[in-house]
Amino acid sequence: MVLSTPIRRYPRRSAADTASASASAAETSDTSCCSGSKATETNGATCGQGECAPNMGQELGLEELPEDIVHRIHSIMPVQDAARAACVSRRFLHSWRSYSSLTLSDRTLGLDDTDFEERKTHLIDKFDKILKNHYGNGVKVKTLKLELGLCSDIKASYLDRWLRIIKSGIQEFSLVLPLVMNKIYNFPCSVLSNEAAASSIQSLSLFGCAFHPTSILGRLIRLKSLHLCHVHITEDGLGHLLSKSSALERLVIDACSGIICLKIPCTMQQLKFLAVKLCKMVRVVEIDAPQLGSFHYGGTPVIYVRNSSQLKNVDISPVCPSGILSYARFSLPSIAQNVESLTLRGRSENANTPMLPSKLPRLKNLEIALLKPHLSPNYDAFSLVSFLDASPALESFILRVEQDALMHDPVVGDDTEYRRQNLECRNNSLRKVMITGFCSAKSLVELTVHILERAHSLARFTLDITYGYDRRSCNVAKFPTARMIGLCWPLNKRALEEAHRAVETADRYIKGRVPSSVQFEVLGPCPRCHIGK
């Protein structure tokens, strides 16, 4: 077999350069190599610094290529193409037997267009043959990703057999199982009890199984990323796992059961990112990770943080109605004194956000979302000024009011009324403000007026009536016509009527108060998606 594209011989270079050039030759119809002032081959001639030299290359067949180059070419192919190449070439067949990166799913194996039941059968059969072949040939697999989201009735014996391939040299492992299985699969702790396998793995991801680590677990000295999603794991099991993972940098615990008190111990000296989401049983989170920079939490807000000097990014949202805004205003100044970026999502707030003397002195970016179901009928959106008062370094503020989240009465009366008295808090750093879901609620108008009058460095203020122009694929700030691309957030008849009232409210009560130095924009109903609906 000869490659369809000629591969030419070049003057001696490093192995990395040779591999890169050969891989490129297998993928393109013209081969060119360029590096600074090095020679570049164009149309069969070698050109360097403007001078042409005779062609020094000649065609080289696949069978003549060095073994490491063949492996390199093969390794960058998707697994389906790599397997097909092995069927038509002895060199690639030999390479396939040591193919070290396996991502196996119905899509990568070309089964996503087949009948559902037939797909399940073929999927298990192909997984079994590929993994049995690799295990039988003693292949050191570096990456193994098994996606079995279709196979709710797969037998544990198959999975146990496939996992035998996890041994010395494994760097990345991912297992995705169906959320609903005939019998939940217990991921065998023994797979990672082998010190050689445990010490080489760098990324571990489990979805849809049970995992109960014990003290027999090997030392995961190179594990940097751990993602557990829909996994049943106990507090003791997680404790064993973390105690063996001192190099961990990223930890995501998503929709896991079995944990009530989540403890991140001080042995997590390298942990920089922690996300705990949709774990409905978790009631308390205790963190003692001195390098933690980002913390995302969705759950009941009882959080204790020690050694928080590096914590700069915090994102908190509840999974059920709670007073997250009040809790954050009370607690964050003590547990995240150095936070620079803060996102809060409040749902069914039953009390106004309190004014407090405590500060968030380094906070630069603040985003608050008011979500459904309804906040308390008496909730005062103006009370969010407490966060602005606590943040003297704030530069950007985004407020998202979800449709029907804020119960309100439309503003009425003279436009001079909508100014709160006796609040002298000012902000000399705030430059960008956006309110999405802006409506004609009196307290929201008062908050808007307050910001305009107290933020003397303000440069841009956007009122988005319809819930999210800024979240489009195009950036509205850069491309003003982006609002006409794609579909807008849907509005029912009542919401469309409110949108028009909000535009009128902005024109009457707000527009006249905007300083001439501020770029002010009201994004109303879209003339293509909303008019007439």
Q: What is the pLDDT of residue 12?
A: 37
Helical (H) or strand (E) element with 345: strand 341-347
- Of 6, 16, 122, 101, which is closest to residue 59 (Cα–Cα)? 6
Q: Where are the alpha helices (DSSP H) in 163-234?
A: 195-200
What value does the mean pLDDT take over residues 503-515?
Answer: 91
| Measured CA distances, 347 to 58, 129, 463 (Å) | 69, 50, 22
86: part of which helix (H) or strand (E)?
helix 79-88
Is the pLDDT higher at 324 or at 53? 324
**Residue range 512-519: mean pLDDT, rounded:** 93
Q: What is the pLDDT of residues 413-426, one digit of tens each?
A: 555 555 555 556 67
> Is residue 126 exposed (0-12), middle (13-18) or buried (19+ Cβ within 10 Å)?
middle
Residue 510: which pLDDT band, with cuts at 50, 70 and 90?
very high
pLDDT at residue number 531: 64
Is residue 408 one of the residues assigned to a domain?
yes
Instruction: Evaluate if residue 473 carries a pLDDT over 50.
Output: no
Q: Does some domain include residue 456? A: yes
Reported as a single tens digit per residue, the pLDDT across 69-118 is 766 666 667 666 766 766 666 666 666 666 678 888 888 777 777 777 77
The pLDDT score that the predictor gives to residue 81 is: 74
Lowest mean pLDDT among 173-177, 272-276, 441-445: 441-445
Cβ distance 13 to 20 under 8 Å?
no
Q: What is the mean pLDDT of the segment spanning 13-21? A: 36
Average pLDDT of the residues in 140-169: 90
pLDDT of residue 6: 38
Q: Which of 353 and 15 is assigned the larger pLDDT? A: 353
Q: Cα(425)–Cα(436) distance, rounded to whole angstroms?
A: 23
Note the pLDDT tens digit of each residue in 18-70: 333 333 333 333 333 333 333 333 333 333 444 444 444 455 566 666 766 76
CA distance 456 to 430: 8
Any domain includes 377: yes
Render pLDDT for 175-218 as a digit per residue (tens, 0 to 9): 999 998 889 999 999 999 988 889 999 999 999 999 999 999 99
Does 479 map to a domain? yes
Average pLDDT of the residues in 317-328: 80
Q: What is the pLDDT of residue 532?
A: 55
Read off the pLDDT band of 252 (50, 70, 90): very high
For β-strands 51-53 and 45-48, DSSP reports them as antiparallel
Sign of CA dihedral 448, 345, 460, 426: positive
Greater confidence, 454 or 461?
461
The mean pLDDT value for 392-411 works out to: 82
Residue 23 has a pLDDT of 34
Residue 504 in this model has a pLDDT that exceeds 70: yes
Last residue of a domain, one of 98, 130, 153: 98
Q: What mean pLDDT is predicted for residues 501-506? A: 90
Last residue of a domain, one of 98, 132, 150: 98
Does residue 50 sit within a domain? no
Asked if the structure places residue 523 within a domain, the reply is yes
- 292 or 73: which carries more pLDDT confidence? 292
Range in 58-72, 156-170, 330-344, 420-434 with the lowest mean pLDDT: 58-72
Q: What are the C-alpha distances in Å from 16 to residues 13, 19, 70, 142, 462? A: 8, 5, 13, 20, 51
| Mean pLDDT of all residues in 288-312 | 92
pLDDT number for residue 368:
95
Structural domain harbouring 334: 325-533
Residue 482 lies in a domain: yes
Query: What single DSSP character describes residue 323?
Result: -
For the residues 476-501, what does the mean pLDDT come to?
Answer: 64
The residue among 351 and 52 whose pLDDT is bigger is: 351
Q: Tell me the mean pLDDT in the region 402-410.
A: 69
Name the nearest CA neighbour of 254 among 283, 226, 280, 229.
Answer: 229
Mean pLDDT within 232-261: 96
pLDDT of 5 strictly over 90: no
Q: Which of the pair, 155 or 77, is modelled with greater confidence? A: 155
Q: How much is the pTM?
A: 0.79
317-326, 330-339, 480-489: least confidently modelled range = 480-489
Q: Convert the pLDDT of each residue in 206-223 to its tens digit.
A: 999 999 999 999 999 999
Asked if residue 447 belongs to a domain, the reply is yes
Mean pLDDT to the nearest integer, 134-144: 82
Work out the angle at residue 235's Cα, subtended by the Cα atoms of residues 231 and 241, and round it to the nearest 5 degrees: 75
On whether the CB atoms of residues 297 and 315 are closer than 8 A, the answer is yes
Question: Into how many domains does the chain fold?
Answer: 2
Q: Which residue has the higher pLDDT, 111 or 308?
A: 308
Q: Which range is most confident: 59-68, 361-370, 396-405, 435-444?
A: 361-370
Give the per-residue pLDDT at 4.
37
Report the run of H or E that residue 398 belongs to, with start and end. strand 396-401
